[in-house]
Amino acid sequence: MRHIPEEELHAYIDQALSRSQCVEIESHIAACANCRAARDSIAALRDRTTSLLAALAPAPRIAPSFQVVQARHAAATVDRRHRARVAAWAASIVLAAGVGYGTHALLDPPFEEHKATSTAMLPAPIMLTPLLAAPAAGMAAAAPHPVPAPFNSTLVSATPAASVAASASAAASPPAVSRAAGKHRTRSRAIPARIAGQDSATPKPRPAESVSLLAGFSPAEPATVELSSLGFPKSGADLDLDGIWRTVSWDNAQSEAGEQPARINGLPVVQVQVQQSRASGKPLMVVAQQLESGDVIRTIEGSVADVSQLLARRPATPAESLGRTTSVRRGSRMLVITGDLPSDSLRAMIGRLNAGPIHSLDDVAAPTRSPARSHLLLPRDRRW
């Protein structure tokens, strides 16, 4: 006769077992004195634990009324909006310099084989996007020069095909942009500085390890949201991202994305941020999740153009990096996992994405409306 293992008895006592499991256990216990005694001793153990832990409590106090919490929430919201507005102004000056720097790579001739790709990938003309936050201050100090005028004209001539999409001067850019831009007439968007993993003569040489699309792994099963836990990311983590981001609740994120936001199964979600996409309809979404260790992992999902732009951003200091990154393509959408983890851990996480069927390299190569296949950059094994 098999006796009931200890952990099962604990689960039973804790009422964590199914009805049928309980019935099984109870009928066994009725017949088995050993297990009866075991159950009793485990029940006693559990009670003892509870009473010991009860000693570890602060002096009981009456909970403040819920209104206090609501008031605090209201105050925090006002504060946050104000801070974001202030930061946007400071940051737009930075971007003027940043954009110029970022587009240097564009002027370098791409490798032959990827030439078609890089042209096809070029989206609309560059648009200035206000950045968010404190790092901006540092960058502004470091690079106060306005974007050189020549860059503008060169850009236009280098990408005649792309300039067609001139219509894309989309979203409202705050008045600060025109103020800081000075010489800028056009609204522009930073073009991904690197495509296809090559690292030509860019001003700052960086080892780029290209990772081909992860082929052939099984599509992640669409999972229900088991836990949507949101806390605050590690300090400063909020500020890594370019552009204006709204933090949204899980419900809002779902309705904005039209489906569940891409994320890794099984990890608590710490924050969801959303940014309107300039190119396509669906917004750019970043889901931050937290590991046991405390590290924050981000899953970024959006159109290829938007996500590439985000990744191409150069942080002001090493601290504000996106960490290591790995990515995969799904048609015209791109999924990126970033975090301060070894690259292969990040790659493994792709297998745990809830993001629906992931196309293999072959699928993407098949003729579709989306641009021709391209290898995406990442990961980097060095902080930006």
Partner 1 sequence: MSDELEQLYQTTYTAVVRFLYRKVWDADRAEDLAQEVFVRALAHRPDKPRAWVFAVAANLARDEARAAVRRKRHLTLLKGDPAALPTVPPAADEVVENDERKAAVKRALDALTPRDQEVLLLWDAGLSYPEIATQTGLAVGAVGTTLARARRRLIDAHERDAAGDHAAHS
Which range binds partner 1 by CB under 8 A, 161-169, 245-253, 313-321, 360-368?
A: 245-253
**Subset of residues 105 to 164 that bind partner 1, contact rule: CB under 8 A:** none
- The residue among 194 and 298 lying less far from partner 1, judged by its C-beta, is 298
Nearer to partner 1, 295 or 363 (CB): 295
Interaction between residue 61 and partner 1 (CB under 8 A): yes
Per CB under 8 A, 78 contacts partner 1: no
Whichever of 56 and 172 has its CB closer to partner 1, that residue is 56
Helices 33-54 and 19-31, axial angle in degrees (round to 10): 120
Q: Smaller CB distance to partner 1: residue 314 or 352?
A: 352
Binds partner 1 (CB under 8 A): choice among 26, 251, 344, 362: 251
Strands 284-290 and 246-248, how do they pair?
Answer: unpaired
Which of 361, 327, 116, 355 minimizes the C-alpha distance to 258? 355
Rounded distance between C-alpha atoms, residue 174 and residue 14, angstroms: 57
- Shortest Å distance, C-beta 323 to partner 1: 18
Residue 14, interface with partner 1 (CB under 8 A)?
yes
The contact mask relative to partner 1 for 303-332 (x = CB under 8 A, - = no) is: ------------------------------
* C-beta of 208 vs 269, nearer to partner 1: 269
Return the amino acid letter for 69.
V
DSSP strand E in the chain: where? 246-248, 269-275, 284-290, 296-303, 324-330, 333-339
Question: Which string of x and - marks every residue 277-296 that binds partner 1 (by CB under 8 A)?
Answer: -------------xxx-x--
CB of 77 to partner 1, least distance (A): 7
Q: How far is CA 101 from the centre of its chain?
A: 24
Kindly give, in sequence order, each residue whose CB lies less than 8 Å from that of residue 125, ignoring residues fewer than 6 positions away.
155, 156, 162, 163, 165, 166, 168, 169, 186, 187, 188, 189
- Backbone torsion region of residue 96, taken as left when φ is above 0, otherwise alpha when ψ lies between -120 and 50, otherwise beta: alpha
Nearer Cβ to partner 1, position 30 or 227? 227
Q: Count residues contacting partner 1 (CB under 8 A)?
A: 56
The answer to the question of residue 228 lying near partner 1 (CB under 8 A) is: yes
For the beta sheet containing 284-290, the strands, ordered from the edge strand earlier in sequence to the opposite edge, are: 246-248, 269-275, 284-290, 296-303, 333-339, 324-330
d(CA 261, CA 258): 8
Q: Is 234 left (phi over 0), alpha (psi -120 to 50) or beta?
A: beta
Give the three-state DSSP class for 124. Answer: coil
Helix (H, G, I), strand (E, B) or coil at 188: coil
What's the CA gap between 299 and 80, in Å, rounded? 24
Q: Does 41 bind partner 1 (CB under 8 A)?
A: no
Question: Which residue in the set 19, 31, 33, 73 belongs to the binding site for partner 1 (CB under 8 A)?
Answer: 73
Among 1, 31, 56, 78, binds partner 1 (CB under 8 A): 56
Q: Which of 1, 30, 33, 64 binds partner 1 (CB under 8 A)?
A: 64
Residues making contact with partner 1 (CB under 8 A): 6-11, 14, 16, 42, 45-46, 48-50, 52-53, 55-61, 63-64, 66, 68-70, 72-73, 76-77, 225-232, 234-235, 247, 249-252, 266-268, 270, 290-292, 294
